[in-house]
Structure 1
């Protein structure tokens, strides 16, 4: 019975740490996307869509900041042309 308790608590602890790690990564990725929008509400929505697109396309996490910066630049370029 002692081993069962140890295995269950260890598994639960490992799962919780994995889950927390994933949540923190999601929050930091979302924060990065929103920081590039600089308070512009339509751009915030656009950047969140681009973050979802990057995740669907499998953009590596280390490449994500550059990828999002290019998406923000494209948005600003399009917004500048339409003004």
Structure 2
């Protein structure tokens, strides 16, 4: 019985760490996109859309910064 308790608690702890890792990684990616947008509200929305598109298109995380920088350079404010 003691072994089962240790096993369950260990698995829950690992699951918690994985969930926190994924959540923090998502926050870091969002912060990266917003930092490239600056204070422009329109560009902030554009960069968040680009981040969603990057996730959908399967852009690798190591390539994400360069990809977002390229998309930020392509941004044209609406009149």
Task: Sort the TM-score into its range (normalised by shorter chain).
Answer: over 0.9
| CA root-mean-square deviation | 1.1
Note the C-alpha offset of 1:21.
0.4
For 2:32 and 2:47, locate their aligned partners in 1 and report how far apart those are by CA, in whole Å: 9
| Partner residue, 2:32 | 32
Give the TM-score of the pair, scaled to structure 1.
Answer: 0.91
Matched residue pairs, number?
79
For 1:52 and 1:18, locate their aligned partners in 2 and report how far apart those are by CA, in whole Å: 21
Question: Residue deviations 1:9-62, cap 9 Å, x none?
Answer: 000000000000001100000000000000100100000000000000000000
Q: Which has the higher contact order (CA 8 A, sep 6+)?
A: 2
Give the TM-score of the pair, scaled to structure 2.
Answer: 0.95
